[in-house]
Amino acid sequence: MRILRIGERSARLSGRIGTGLAEFLLIVGGVIGHDAGAAGPAAPIQAEPMPAHQHVDSGIPDGDVSMRGIYGSYPMSRESSGTSWQPDSAPMEDLETMSGRWMTMFRGSLEGVYSHQGGHRGDSQSFNESMLMFMARRSIGDDAVGVRLMGSLEPLNGAGGYPLLFQTGETANGRDPLVDRQHPHNLVMEFAGSYSKSLTGGSSVFVYGGPVGEPALGPPAYMNRGSSEDNPDAPLTHHWLDATHVTFGVVTVGGIWRRWKLEGSSFNGREPDQHRYDVELRRLDSSSVRLSYNPNASLALQVSAGRLASPEQLQPNTAVRRTTASAIWDRSLGGARWQTTLAWGRDAPAGGRQTDGYLLDSALRLGRGHTVFARLEDVVKDELFALPGPLYGRPFRIRKGSLGYVFDFIERGHLRFSIGAVVSEHWTPADLNPAYGSDPAGSSLFVRARLVP
């Protein structure tokens, strides 16, 4: 089996486009910062303390429509990727403005990363990780219309993505599976709209959908979780938990009652192919259901299950049943903030072996711009080798631990600049030593520009 690599030209192109995105973020930050200081209808939203007469179940002050979520009458901070929930206490770090009945939000980041993965099958590479998200909400009485757009410049890294030991899933050429590499995100990651109808007693019903979106399956996508967003390495459990966060065709219908949400989706189960610039619409052949519950402001729970009709391009006749459960805890500790995610996922391919993945990641944001983060994973991989090798199809239990640090060294206007590093260690069965070496390690250095309020 070939281990797909990209050459120096892709790395140089990624560097040039990274510079371009940095300039774009500077322009966006400068323009919004200028608008925020101007008089007129586009003045920024000012977060105010919740008054004593707020609704107990929704957490929204009476009459404060601007702070309600897109899908229901609860704090907007509860909403994460797609229609998923995070704890109400999670900080909102979006650039927000109000113009008439429209509230708009921007979120964006650009990272330049250098990664070195050790062992016999490791590799080294520079690449960009990037995301720009736009969200808008328009009030119609107590109801709401929502728009969500998100994109990335990661396709410029090349179809082979970046080196990441023991990662599997998708393809870079339509023939060979990606192994020991993380695929790039697509240019268009989300293009969806929604409508929510407010009912009595803090309840609502909603519909969400579009040509690119996220079905009701799994926890919030890892780049939208505060516990994992600082780690430049995608989780090895990505394809057990939240790989459907970029889905080409989805419709979700749901109902919310106080702190509970039940929703179901019909969607295209095929994961993106190697052509990262297009939108690959297919029929809605898959389905999922998710139950979410936020028992208090610091905790978000979900369980979900779905059937993906044909997720892998290289195995088009294999359906997969995916089951997930997760808990996200978020808490302010004086001047610090701590968020932790515990998640489990199970993939059961038709006629194949079911495998499980476990994830625990956590980030502690201290005062004065310091963040410490960690991740532990335990996952069974049976896609590390191809025919005609003797290890083809054999399951191997992979354990991975990561520890990282980020320092925010300057903030200018609506841009925060940071530098960070992460080191990782793998614990693997002895049968993998000839191919990988004994318990190979990895490390990454990165610089980041992020839009901030």
Locate 98 and state its tokens.
Answer: 């109000």
- At residue 433, φ and ψ (nearest 5 deg) are -60, -40
pLDDT at site 60: 54
- Alpha-carbon span 64 to 48, nearest angstrom: 10
> Which residues on adjacent β-strands are paired with residue 95?
106
Q: Measured between alpha carbons, how far is 35 from 56 in angstroms, rounded to an integer?
A: 35
pTM of the model: 0.86
**Spatial distance between the Cα atoms of 354 and 89, rounded to a whole number of angstroms:** 36
Q: Which residues contact residue 7 at a Cβ distance below 8 angstroms, ignoring those fewer than 6 apart? A: none
Show the low-confidence residues of the chain (pLDDT under 70): 1-66
Q: Which two tokens stand for residue 9?
A: 């030209």
Give the rounded distance of the alpha carbon of 419 from its chain centre: 21
In angstroms, the CA 6 to CA 265 distance is 36
* pLDDT value of position 67: 73
Facing residues of 146 across strands?
137, 194
Closest CA to 127 of 2, 17, 3, 4: 17
Is the link from the previous residue into 388 a cis peptide, with omega within 30 of 0?
yes
Question: In this structure, which topology does domain 8-48+73-451 adopt according to CATH?
Answer: Porin (2.40.160)
Task: Report how far residue 22's alpha carbon sits from residue 16's, in angstroms, rounded to the nearest whole number.
Answer: 10
In sequence order, what are the residues at sequence separation of 6 or more whose Cβ sits closer than 8 angstroms to the Cβ of residue 45?
66, 67, 96, 97, 98, 103
The token duo for 123 is 């590799």
3-state secondary structure of 16: helix
d(CA 29, CA 389): 52
Per-domain residue ranges of the chain: 8-48+73-451
In this structure, the number of other CB atoms found within 10 A of the CB of residue 360 comes to 15
Say how far apart CA 364 and CA 228 lie, in whole Å: 11
Q: Residue 157: helix, strand or coil by DSSP?
A: helix
Beta bridge mates, 198: 204
Which element (helix H / strand E) includes 250?
A: strand 250-257
Encoded amino acid at 436, one letter: Y
Q: Phi and psi dihedrals of 24, rounded to 5?
A: -65, -45
Chain centroid to Cα 220, Å, comes to 6
